[in-house]
Amino acid sequence: MARKRNKYPLIEALEITDIAAEGKALGRYGDVVVFVPMTVPGDVVDVQITAKRRRFMEGYAVHYRTRSPLRCEPFCSHYGDCGGCRWQHLPYERQLAFKQQQVIDQLTRIGHIELPPISPILGSEQTRYYRNKLEFTACNKRWIPRRELEQDEEASFDNALGFHVSGMFDKILDIERCHLQPEPSNALRLAVKNYAVEHEYPFYNIRTHEGFLRNIVIRTASTGDVMLIVVFAYEDTERRTALLEYLRTSFPELTSLMYIINGKMNDSYADLPVHLYSGRDYIIEQMEDLQFKVGPKSFYQTNSAQACKLYEVVREFASLSGSEMVYDLYTGTGTIANFVARGARKVVGIEYVPEAIEDAKANARLNGLDNLTFYAGDMKDVLCQRFMEENGFPDVIILDPPRAGLHEEVTATVLSAAPRRIVYVSCNPATQARDLSLMDQEYRVVKVQPVDMFPHTHHVENVVLLEKR
């Protein structure tokens, strides 16, 4: 197999000096920044450039002249090929230090606001097998890593059941063992793949949209419950039933075995029916003495143990005495609302996804909480003056928006509501900093608590308490 000649230069002996936003390690070649993944400050590397822009270049390390003393040995055989867990080469305490600095840098450089001392980041006790949900994609032609091609130019393009390669929608890396989710996750994935290969099931072709086996979704819970969803591209009753029956009998620990028929051009199944094959159509997760029903389409924080720590911080920051009206905006399935309900007079939750609101209502009933009310709709449309007049003006507002942060209309409405306290949870400190600057005239930041939800990645969650000036 002939390989294309790289048209970009090789930079020799580049010293990696820092880690920037989004976890990218970098060095400087003259006055140009060079981003090099999977390197750390202190590495000296020869870099093959793959992309050039006016102010920066991107490339990959082809040779290490000096390895940084910060480095540790990655634990996963897929490291460097899989797009996840890209910080395995950094000791966990160093990961936490970089994430802490990321929060400080983004709040100060983007927010330009007065800040209190930022609390030390809350690390995760589990740094492997911490996820409760993974999705794998089937493909009839696996992506072959560069290092495998270098060893064997005739490597075969077998079927794959694994993860999308970063930046490539149609390339799937076959996964042998993943360190993100506890068993039976690996066993289930391998069982599906091996059965499909042995019985000659056509794996999906992402470009031509042909093939039968398309995706699987695995959800696990701290209670021991396990859900498996198999996604097929079309109905073939005989083949579908044979595979599902094999899985049912081979994995009696499955709490929920479900399937979806997805003939669309994309993998999204939010608008598709989910069919129950065996077991029940939900699993149960538990935090403290609260239980949560998690269905096939439910949004739930993917690190359950750290989510509990995160919600404890939110509850502490809210400082509820029992008399407050609380608004939980972007409530999802109502986990935070449930967490704070016993300390509040009433909690009102708003969420865009109607199915999530139904889950939130079910969770409130499951936990015997009768002071929770939930509404579905676009936040900027639902949250208005009339809504607050009808439901009561909030004493405390809890915000947990998507990565894009708050819509400007939502920010304006929150400010007009004038709660005593705002607790702002964010998975993107950059957009959080922007929003905090917009509130700065009326609210001051009192506490900042970073929380690490995703070890071995650059992602960091951050909780901020604001009080009325």
Give the catalytic positions in this structure: 427
Pairwise CA distance, residues 326 & 208, whole Å: 50
Enter the tokens of residue 190. 């391998």
Residue whose pair of structure tokens reads 């993107």 in the numeric block: 428
Helix axis angle for 429-439 and 92-109, nearest 10°, is 30
Write the CA distances from 380 to 84, 332, 376, 384, 462, integer angstroms: 34, 16, 12, 7, 23
CA–CA distance, 70 with 43 (Å, rounded to integer)? 9
Q: How remote is the C-alpha of 457 from its chain's centroid?
A: 10
Tokens read off for 211: 């093939």
- Residue 137 CA to residue 238 CA, distance in Å, equals 22
Distance, in Å, from the CA atom of 141 to the CA atom of 197, rounded to the nearest integer, reads 13
Handedness of CA 79, 81, 82, 87 (dihedral sign): positive
Instruction: Name the β-bridge partners of 163.
Output: 173
For 30-37, which contacts have Cβ atoms below 8 Å and span 24 or more sequence positions? 32/56, 32/57, 33/57, 34/58, 34/59, 35/59, 36/60, 36/61, 37/86
Q: How many Cβ atoms from other residues are within 10 Å of residue 398's Cβ?
A: 28
Give the integer Cα–Cα distance in Å for 254 and 225.
7
Which positions ≥6 away from 346 have C-beta within 8 Å?
325, 326, 371, 372, 373, 392
Answer for the pair 204, 212: CB distance below 8 angstroms, yes or no.
Answer: yes
Closest residue by Cα to residue 398 from 406, 409, 390: 406
Beta carbons within 8 Å of 333's beta carbon, 6+ residues apart: 292, 294, 298, 299, 300, 356, 359, 360, 363
Q: Which of 57, 76, 217 is nearest to 136 (CA)?
A: 217
Please enumerate in sequence order all residues whose Cβ is within 8 A of that of 397, keeping only pairs 6 or more positions apart, or say none: 326, 327, 329, 414, 417, 419, 421, 422, 423
